[in-house]
Chains A and B, each alone.
Chain A
Amino acid sequence: MSGSTWSVAMAVLRRVMIQTFKNPAIIIPSLAFPLVFLVAFAGGLSTVADVPGFSFKGGYTAFQFVFVFLQMAAFGGIFTGYRIAEDYESGFVRRLLIAAPRSRGIIIGFVLSGLARFALTGVLLWAIALLAGMTVLGSPLQIAAIWLLAALLCIASTLWVAGLAFRFQSVDIGSFMQTPIFVLLFLAPVYVPLALLTGWLKIAASANPITAILDASRGFISGEQTKVALAFGLAALLTLLMALWAALQLRRAQRGVA
């Protein structure tokens, strides 16, 4: 990465971080929503662990925590997308596209800010879950692997929404940013393992790339590795495809400015 690309990326990251810390209301929804899901799913549905055939070494809280953590990673990207769209509406991104010597740095800066936001909320979520007594049977390396998978998911979702923001240049596209990600996440085995799903959801979950990422992450937290290569392969592929999408839309946006 050239020096000018890096300096653009750092400038974007610094700006987003300053905005975030100056206005805590920006960060609260990214933490509050996953927490609600964690409370509702791990607390309200703990009986699901008694369903015949359900066996997860880490307990139901850990089982649900992994889903909520990955959801938080994906939504970290979505909230960054809102930021880009708002910056477009205020005219900031257009000025940035003209001024930045390397426009690639703009995307990298937004991806880094999505990751920074996710890291902040992710640490808080882990702390809350551990304080609430969540069982973690995985090794530190396996926990690091969960973070890495989640980070890849965060990058992929940031690139998806960045592409949408560059294309539509309006916050009105907000629901289109989150709905596909929301649907993709909920078409995975959220409440019970894949083996206990039946009907159309089992077919959808089997074809859903998020399922492998979720299963591998659940395997890591319970210390029983599963689908590791598949999960990392799919996460990397998703990230690559989304990077191409975002780069194409950025080029399109640049042509619009020129």
Chain B
Amino acid sequence: MSSASQLALISRRSVSRTFRQPVLVVPVILFPLILLAVNAAGLASVTELPGFPTDRYINFAIVVCFVQGALFAAITAGTELASDIQSGFADRLALTPARRWAVLAGATAGGASIAVFGSVIYLAIGVIFGVQFDTGALGALVLLALAIYTALAFAGIGAWLAVATGSPQAVQGVFPLLFVLLFLSTMNLPLDFIQKQWFRTIAEWNPLSYLIDGMRGLVIGGWDAATLLPAIAVATAIMFITFAGAARSLRRRVQRT
């Protein structure tokens, strides 16, 4: 069996298993949209600050949904893979000729697919509620592609955690940390508008700020390689580091078994 066929088989199992559990799908769709609704209405008045880049806060806030969805994807993907490890399914899979990368990528496909599904919904809801793209329809498509790429990269975080710990509880325990990272980014205000220096420094070094700013640039500000390329670079770096780490941990785990 070719590697592509192995990947397709494992992915199909992961996707169908994930979508059969509404408890895994509903929060990914609902929570980012609730936060968007509350923030877009609650922080609408900040657009009156001189120099704020848009006059509608929803244009500014919409991209946070995509990053939040990707974070949920990371945890879902990790939890599902850790469950497979805990139940012994991953060990049985290791006895087959399946390639390690196909096992990892396939097992995290469920989480990543929820994020893809969520991204399409966030975009549709955004458009319905009047989000305007300075980069036009092409910008909206690039945003969708970047969101999906980010979700795939974040699935690597979940995969690495799952293989390293083998415990769904441990993977879920990391979610608050990722959530903290999101809140310490430029999710609510542009970097220039953050007054507290310590917060600004954290936001400046926070990789999520680059992802948010890159996506946001497509909605407000127009085509700008200076924000888009760092976002792609950050997502790529996360993907390579985490999947490489996961592959190494999986090799060790298989050797132990």
The answer to whether B117 has its CB under 8 Å from any CB of chain A is no
Q: How far is the CA of A29 from the CA of B175 in the complex (A)?
A: 12
The answer to whether B240 has its CB under 8 Å from any CB of chain A is no
By beta carbon, the residue of chain A nearest B27 is: A175
The answer to whether A48 has its CB under 8 Å from any CB of chain B is yes
For B41, give its contact among A40, A50, A200 (CB under 8 Å). A200
The answer to whether A44 and B46 touch (CB under 8 A), given A32-B176, A33-B176, A183-B34, is no
Interface 0/1 of A177-188, CB less than 8 Å to B: 000000100110
Number of interface residues of A (CB under 8 A): 33
The answer to whether A51 and B176 touch (CB under 8 A), given A40-B184, A44-B183, is no
By beta carbon, the residue of chain B nearest A187 is: B38
Interface 0/1 of B172-186, CB less than 8 Å to A: 000010011001100
Distance (whole angstroms) from the CB of A181 to the closest CB of chain B: 13
| A190 with B199: CB separation less than 8 A | no
Q: How far is the CA of A202 from the CA of B193 in the complex (A)?
A: 25
Q: How far is the CA of A10 from the CA of B198 in the complex (A)?
A: 45
The answer to whether A140 has its CB under 8 Å from any CB of chain B is no
The answer to whether A191 and B199 touch (CB under 8 A), given A36-B179, A51-B48, A201-B38, is no
Q: How far is the CA of A98 from the CA of B189 in the complex (A)?
A: 55
| A48 with B196: CB separation less than 8 A | no
Q: Which residues of A contact B203 (CB under 8 A)?
A: 44
Q: How far is the CA of A175 from the CA of B179 in the complex (A)?
A: 17
| SS of A interface (majority) | helix
Residues in B46-97 with C-beta less than 8 Å from chain A: 46, 48-49
Residues in A71-96 with C-beta less than 8 Å from chain B: none
Residues in B140-195 with C-beta less than 8 Å from chain A: 176, 179-180, 183-184, 188-189, 193-195
Residues in B20-43 with C-beta less than 8 Å from chain A: 23, 27, 34, 38-39, 41-43
| A191 with B196: CB separation less than 8 A | no
The answer to whether A47 and B189 touch (CB under 8 A), given A36-B180, A40-B184, A175-B27, is yes
Q: How far is the CA of A165 from the CA of B179 in the complex (A)?
A: 27
For A45, give its contact among B44, B179, B188 (CB under 8 Å). B188
| A51 with B49: CB separation less than 8 A | yes
For B43, give its contact among A39, A48, A52 (CB under 8 Å). A48
Residues in A190-205 with C-beta less than 8 Å from chain B: 190-192, 196-202
| A36 with B41: CB separation less than 8 A | no
Q: Which residues of A contact B194 (CB under 8 A)?
A: 44, 46-47
Q: Which residues of A contact B (CB under 8 A)?
A: 29, 32-33, 36-37, 39-40, 43-48, 50-54, 175, 183, 186-187, 189-192, 196-202
User: Can you list 23 A-B pairs with a CB-CB distance of less than 8 A?
Assistant: A29-B176, A32-B176, A36-B176, A37-B183, A40-B183, A43-B198, A43-B199, A44-B183, A44-B184, A44-B194, A44-B203, A45-B43, A45-B189, A46-B195, A47-B189, A51-B45, A51-B48, A52-B48, A175-B23, A183-B34, A191-B39, A197-B44, A202-B41
Q: Which residues of B contact A (CB under 8 A)?
A: 23, 27, 34, 38-39, 41-46, 48-49, 176, 179-180, 183-184, 188-189, 193-196, 198-199, 203
